[in-house]
Amino acid sequence: MVVTKSKVISWLDAAADVFEKKQEFLTDLDREIGDADHGLNMNRGFRKVKEKLPTLADKDIGTIMKNTGMVLLSTIGGASGPLYGTFFIKAAETVMAKEELTVTDLYHMYQEGTERIIARGMAHPGDKTMVDTLSAIVASLKARQDDPLSSALAETLKAAEQGMKSTIPLRAAKGRASYLGERAIGHQDPGATSSYLLFKTLCDVVDL
């Protein structure tokens, strides 16, 4: 089984609905250790992505991903806009001209996107950011390239959840939460949570 182009479009479309539904939840997390706008940012960005999807239906997966990144870059302010924008634009380069994705393709996408987020934001695993979820996803996909798609995704979703939850006991080394020192301990990172939700949406769409 592979992820077809129409599933990629469904993924991004469904992500817009998820971020609309989870706006308050993400913003509440960001209220605890940031400036209470992460839900707003993700909802605004993905609403625009969704609006543009119909014009991209006849394009390849790389072009769809690149476009998504450019929309996120230009519509989300704050830290997460340039980071998610970079993620999609760089992930896109690994899947240019493709009409379907294998587990290995997903691995390459997440690997490249995450590496570029790290290069741009200088946050490493354990710094209490989206990188904690993303690097857990990368490691899991790397290890499961020979598995069937559905089990690779199911196992990777568990790893992503662990990556997200691993941020709870940490202090933050990057982003606004780093100003809080000890007070960030005990709170789940908003960006680690949105990265989990984005991957969960992919899993949900592929399983349909």
Q: Interface residues with ligand ADP (CB under 6 A)?
A: 30, 34-35, 37-38, 41, 78-80, 83, 117, 121-123, 129-131, 174-176, 189-192
Query: Which C-beta is closer to Mg ion: that of 73 or that of 203?
Result: 73
Instruction: Specify the residue, 62 or 121, whose C-beta has the smaller distance to ligand ADP.
Output: 121
Least distance CB 147 / ligand ADP (angstroms): 28
Minimum Å gap between C-beta 89 and Mg ion is 21
Q: Who contacts 77 (Cβ-Cβ below 8 Å, separation ≥6)?
A: 41
Q: Which is nearer to ligand ADP, 88 or 103 (CB)?
A: 88
Helix (H, G, I), strand (E, B) or coil at 180: helix
In the list Mg ion, ligand ADP, none, the entry touching 1 (Cβ below 5 to 8 angstroms by class) is none
Work out whether 24 is an interface residue with Mg ion (CB under 5 A).
no
Supply the minimum distance, in Å, between the C-beta of residue 177 and Mg ion: 9
Q: Give the C-alpha separation, 197 to 188, whole Å.
A: 13
Give the span between the Cα atoms of 105 and 204, in whole angstroms. 18
Q: Name which of 1 and 179 has its Cβ closer to ligand ADP.
A: 179
Look at residues 157, 202, 193 and name the one whose alpha carbon lies nearest to residue 10. Answer: 202
3-state secondary structure of 189: coil
Stretch that binds Mg ion, among 1-9, 29-37, 89-97, 111-119 (CB under 5 A): 29-37
* CA–CA dist 132, 82 (Å, integer): 17
Name the residue type at position 181.
G
Q: How far apart are CA 25 and CA 196, in angstroms?
A: 13
109 binds, among ligand ADP, Mg ion, none (CB under 5 to 8 A by kind): none
